[in-house]
């Protein structure tokens, strides 16, 4: 779902108008990344929520007569998602924030229903019950089972309908699915290939590197673990992390994606492991709007406690 990294560089430009010119260099300061924040709310925007037949609650914070999306549309949005506790689990806003692009058919039911209620340029707030979100399973470690999800969403652009993906044998060009070897898939993305250097591959295709050794107890799939973690895409985009929230995550190991269940059993309590998880062991269909279908996930995980 989509940190504050302000980089200031000084570029010296010498204007040479002729041989032997003594012009002083001009100093140009590179601007820091722009901080992206939600846009304005209508002065007369309703404070009460409307509930639909499905159980979705919404209130339109900024009206627009722009084009409304359909159930298959590709849309461009800015958004923020938080739990009842107020903890933000995903956002496209922030320093250097960029909008997300995805097909409505790929998101949770509450998003798909809610976004079709507004037009381009509008903002909507959604309260999505668990049954219209991630259900009883949730999306550990960030989203508990049955959690109500809260979102503000700004609909920036409505595109064409999403084209169906060709899933015929030999035509699946998802990341990490080419050149399968006995020790796992060979990355075809140059960034992923460079990133995977120094990792050990398991027979499932998981790649791991233990960056802090520990002789502590290793968890079993049936154990509950407490961890700090950061999850990134291979392009470096952080989509989730417990560090930013400042609170470790705790969850049953069998309740997470397969790459986590396998990987965390390789490190002891007090240790740190990096995981490169291919799409088939993570989210084969993606987790829009932040994780594309088949994306390889790069996690750094500190195993704080095994319960």
The residues assigned a catalytic role are 229, 239-240, 257, 283, 299
H or E element: which one contains 151? strand 149-161
133: nearest Cα among 145, 122, 124, 115: 145
DSSP three-state, residue 142 = coil
Question: How far, CA to CA in Å, does 231 sit from each of 80, 157, 243, 296?
Answer: 17, 27, 10, 11
Query: What is the DSSP track for 259-281?
Result: HHHHHGGGS-TT-EEEEEE-GGG
Our separate counts of H helices and E strands in the chain read 3, 20
DSSP three-state, residue 78 = strand
**Cα–Cα dist 245/18, whole Å:** 57
Phi, psi of 47 (to 5 degrees): -90, -25
Instruction: Check whether the bond before 141 is cis (ω within 30° of 0).
Output: yes
Q: Hey, CA dihedral for 131, 284, 301, 288, is it positive or negative?
A: negative
276: β partners: 207, 298
Question: How far, CA to CA in Å, does 141 sit from each of 40, 60, 301, 306?
Answer: 32, 30, 11, 15
List of residues 6+ apart from 1 with CB closer than 8 A:
79, 81, 89, 90, 91, 92, 100, 239, 240, 289, 290, 291
């Amino acid at each position: 779902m989509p940190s504050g990294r302000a980089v200031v560089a000084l570029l010296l430009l010498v204007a040479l108008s002729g041989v032997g010119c003594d012009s002083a260099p001009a100093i140009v300061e590179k601007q820091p990344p722009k901080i992206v924040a939600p846009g304005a709310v209508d002065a007369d925007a309703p404070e009460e929520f409307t509930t639909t037949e499905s159980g979705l609650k919404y209130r339109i914070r900024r009206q627009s007569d722009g084009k409304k999306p359909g159930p298959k549309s590709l849309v461009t949005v800015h958004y923020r998602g938080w739990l009842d506790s107020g903890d933000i689990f995903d956002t496209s806003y922030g320093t250097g924030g960029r909008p997300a692009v995805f097909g409505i058919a790929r998101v949770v039911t509450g998003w798909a229903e809610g976004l079709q209620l507004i037009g381009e340029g509008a903002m909507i707030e959604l309260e999505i019950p668990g049954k219209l979100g991630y259900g009883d399973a949730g999306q550990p470690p960030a989203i508990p089972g049955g959690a109500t999800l809260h979102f503000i969403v700004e609909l920036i652009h409505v595109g064409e309908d999403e084209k169906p993906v060709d899933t015929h044998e030999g035509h699946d060009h998802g990341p990490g699915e080419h050149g399968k070897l006995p020790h796992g898939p060979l990355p075809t993305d140059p960034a992923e290939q460079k990133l995977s250097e120094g990792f050990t591959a398991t027979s499932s295709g998981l790649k791991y590197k233990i960056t802090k050794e520990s002789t502590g107890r290793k968890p079993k799939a049936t154990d509950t673990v407490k961890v700090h973690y950061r999850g990134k895409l291979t392009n470096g985009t952080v989509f989730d992390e417990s560090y930013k929230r400042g609170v470790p995550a705790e969850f049953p190991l069998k309740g997470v994606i397969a790459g986590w269940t396998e990987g965390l059993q390789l490190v002891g309590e007090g240790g740190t492991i990096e995981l490169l998880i291919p799409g088939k062991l993570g989210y084969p269909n993606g987790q829009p709007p932040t994780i594309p279908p088949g994306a390889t996930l790069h996690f750094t995980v500190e195993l704080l406690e095994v319960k």
